[in-house]
Structure formats: C-alpha cells, structure tokens
Amino acid sequence: MATTAKKTTADKAKSTASKSTASRNTAKTASKSADGKVKAKSTAADGLRELFVDSLKDIYWAEKALTKALPKMAKNSTSENLITAINDHLSVTEEQVKRLEQVFSLIGEKAAAKKCDAMEGLIKEGESIMEETEAGPVRDAGIIAASQKIEHYEIATYGTLAAFATTLGEDDAVLLLEKTLAEEKEADTLLTEAAYNTINFDANEED
Ligand code: FE
Ligand code: ZN
Ligand code: FE
Ligand code: FE
C-alpha cells in the first residue's frame, strides 16, 4: 500500500475527528465518522464492537433476503435431493434469523438490518443462472453452484462473527453464532453431495 494513500486516510480521520458529530447510533463507546466509516474512538475494542454490530446487521439483512430467495430456487429445481436440501435449509434459515435477533438482544443492541451488497449480488447471480438455463439437470447444477457460493459467504461471515464475539467476551453470542456456522457448513456439505451424487453427472449426460 502506498504511503500517500495511508497519509490521506490519516488526514481524513483527523478532519472528521475534529468535526466530531453526535453519533446517530446508540453504541455507548464507539462512533462513526461523517463518511460512515467505523473507527476506533478510544480503544480498539470499542471499534471492534461497532464492526461486530455492523456485521451482524449485514448478515441479518442477508438471511432475511435468503428466506425470500430460497423458495424461488426450490421452485426452479427438478432434482428431489436438491429441492429437499433447499427447503430444509429454508426452515433452518428462518431459525437463523430468529437466532440473530437473540444475538442482538444478548449484546444489548436493537435488531436492525443493513443491506448486504455481497448477498444481493450472490442472489442476483443465482437468478441470472435460472434465467439463462432450461429447467432440468443443467439448471439444477447452476442452482447448486449459486447456493454453494451463498453458503460459503455465510460460512466466512459467521466464522468472523464468532471470532469477533470471542474477542469481545460475548460468550453466549459465540455459542449461537457457532451453531449457525455449523448449520451453514452442513448445508454446504449436503449441496456438495447432491452435486456429486447425481446432478452434475446428469447435466454432463444431457447433451
Ligand atoms: Fe444462513
Ligand atoms: Zn455482506
Ligand atoms: Fe463476498
Ligand atoms: Fe445458509
């Protein structure tokens, strides 16, 4: 990274710190600069806490978006294995939304969703695949591919959230986040099995 870029960031931080507005959010210890960037105010732990809360809001949005996207994916699938895997994961996802609300409550924050650009993009990719393929094994293979990208994004996110919660000493939150992390890994495994067992093979045979 160039030193000039570093300098610019530091300058920006300095100027926004001097402006120092009353924080819109309710967090006691951390604040956001005028450009909305998370910064450490007094300690790294304060900054990490705000990053943790923001990341929770992001995945809360993402999980809710998935409760709307998964039924469309199931409807577009033909393999019984795949339809079952998606529908099972839909009920799991609905529980995960509630579990996130528990996490917010445990850490004394109001549950709020903040748009996740990554999940929006991943869902859009899945929609494009469904538009660009005919119903059958090829579309099924595409739906599996899109779903696995989604699961991997969630695995990365919950792994990070559990690590943040551990550092912050939010031990009850860690347990809930790790439970969801295990479910996302399980979903990914089931999708891999669905792909290996039949779907990719059928897709290859089709033409
Ligand atoms: Fe999830
Ligand atoms: Zn996100
Ligand atoms: Fe991403
Ligand atoms: Fe998931």
Give per-residue pLDDT as tens, 88-114.
999 999 999 999 999 999 999 999 999
CA distances for 71 relative to 65, 81, 90, 91, angstroms = 11, 15, 7, 11
Task: Considering every ligand atom shown, identify the ligand nearest to the alpha carbon of residue 96 and give its number.
Answer: 1
Q: In this model, does residue 17 exceed pLDDT 70?
A: no
Q: Residues 26, 27, 31, CA angle at the centre, nearest 5°?
A: 105
How many A from CA of 131 to the centre of ligand 4? 22
Cα dihedral 67→51→159→92 (10° resolution): -20
Task: Considering every ligand atom shown, identify the ligand nearest to the alpha carbon of residue 64 and give its number.
Answer: 1
> How far apart, in whole angstroms, are the C-alpha atoms of residue 110 and residue 24?
13
- Which residues lie across from 38 on neighbouring strands? 32
In the prediction, which pLDDT does 204 show?
Answer: 73
How many A from CA of 205 to the centre of ligand 3? 32
Q: pLDDT tens digits, residue range 68-92?
A: 999 999 999 999 999 999 999 999 9
In the prediction, which pLDDT does 34 show?
Answer: 67
Q: In the 3-class helix/strand/coil scheme, how is 68-94 assigned residue by residue?
A: HHHHHHHHHCCCHHHHHHHHHHHHHHH
In the prediction, which pLDDT does 11 show?
Answer: 45
How many A from CA of 174 to the centre of ligand 1? 16
Place of tokens 């529980």: 95
Q: Name the E strands within the chain.
A: 31-32, 38-39
CA distances for 120 relative to 2, 53, 141, angstroms = 32, 20, 20
How many A from CA of 22 to the centre of ligand 3? 32
Q: pLDDT tens digits, residue range 18-59?
A: 433 333 344 444 456 667 676 655 688 899 999 999 999 999
